């Protein structure tokens, strides 16, 4: 849809490829392709938290309408991961700020701030739990209805610390390449503009090595705007010390 296509046309021309490359501007669902079927679909459709403002619906539409049998999709696999992090200093800066704003009580905004996931870079040293895969999408098989889901997760605590937030990121695979290629948007990988998505918890969890945080992650497109997301995280700290048993439910809106 972008006007950058005009520069793309110039680049194609100066490289002598105008007889091989055709550029079309418009929405995938509205343009008319010069061929009834295609052999390959290439798309960078991923958004924050993989699915926020993503164009995956459009890719699936193109797959079902245009891709030949045994055609290829690049990338063709995406996996969402989660982990728990210690982030007390930044949480106090972002969330606790509203407790006292120049002497005024702004706690109504504090509740709103907790419902907005933060997209930011998390340092690996802040990660308290082992990562766990939540969802894997196979682009050859996934359907639009699969993008609304409710899935259980278990996070194994790797060191005694605090957990202030859960983070999510995704890995992308190109399995049809001669040599399979993967890149990650996690805290262990090189920086990408997707960064990581941080979900601050209402509670601070005191965790010890060997314990587990279990829960359910629920995601669905927003009813008013399907590119926005409504996310709910139910969590429970599994511990032998019943005095520290904690559980909670947090709801978030990515919009």
Active site residue 123: no
Give the pLDDT mean for 1-24.
Answer: 96
* Residue range 71-87, pLDDT digits in tens: 999 999 999 999 999 99
pLDDT on residue 99: 86
Taking the C-alpha atoms of residue 139 and residue 32, their distance in angstroms, rounded to an integer, is 23
pLDDT of amino acid 243:
59
Catalytic residue among 44, 123, 223, 240: 44
Q: Does the structure show a pLDDT above 70 at 93?
A: yes
CATH 2.70.160.11 fits 41-254, yes or no: yes
Dihedral sign from CA coordinates of 212, 218, 171, 91:
negative
Asked whether the predicted pLDDT for residue 27 surpasses 80, the reply is yes
Give me the mean pLDDT over the 212-219 stretch: 97
Task: Check 53, 234, 238, 247 and give the catalytic one.
Answer: 53
Least trusted range by pLDDT, from 42-46, 101-105, 125-129, 170-174? 101-105
- At residue 254 the predicted structure's pLDDT band, cuts being 50, 70 and 90, is very high
Q: Does residue 94 register a pLDDT over 90?
A: no
Q: Chain-wide mean pLDDT for the chain?
A: 94
Is-catalytic flag, 44? yes
- Write the burial class of residue 74 (CB in 10 Å: 0-12 exposed, 13-18 middle, 19+ buried): middle
All structural domains of the chain with their residue ranges: 1-34, 41-254
**What is the pTM assigned to this prediction?**
0.91
């Amino acid at each position: 849809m972008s006007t950058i296509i005009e520069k793309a046309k110039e680049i194609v021309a100066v490289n002598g490829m105008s007889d091989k490359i055709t550029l079309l501007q418009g929405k995938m669902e509205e343009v008319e392709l010069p061929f009834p079927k295609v052999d390959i679909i290439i798309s960078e459709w991923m958004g924050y938290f993989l699915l926020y403002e993503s164009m995956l619906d459009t890719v699936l539409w193109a797959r079902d309408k245009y891709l030949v049998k045994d055609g290829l999709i690049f990338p063709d696999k995406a996996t969402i991961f989660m982990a728990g992090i210690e982030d007390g200093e930044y949480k106090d800066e972002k969330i606790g700020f509203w407790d006292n704003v120049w002497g005024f009580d702004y706690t109504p905004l504090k509740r709103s701030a907790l419902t907005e996931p933060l997209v930011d870079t998390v340092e690996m040293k802040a990660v308290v739990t082992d990562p766990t895969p939540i969802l894997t999408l196979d682009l050859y098989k996934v359907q639009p209805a699969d993008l609304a889901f409710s899935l259980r997760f278990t996070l194994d605590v790797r060191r005694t610390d605090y957990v202030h937030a859960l983070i999510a990121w995704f890995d992308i695979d190109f399995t049809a390449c001669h040599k399979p290629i993967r890149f990650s948007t996690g805290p262990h990988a090189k920086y990408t503009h997707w960064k990581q998505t941080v979900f601050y918890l209402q509670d601070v969890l005191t965790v010890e090595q060997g314990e587990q945080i279990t829960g359910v992650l629920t995601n669905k497109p927003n009813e008013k705007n399907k590119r926005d997301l409504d996310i709910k995280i139910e969590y429970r700290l599994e511990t032998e010390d019943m005095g520290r048993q904690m559980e909670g439910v947090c709801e978030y809106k990515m919009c």
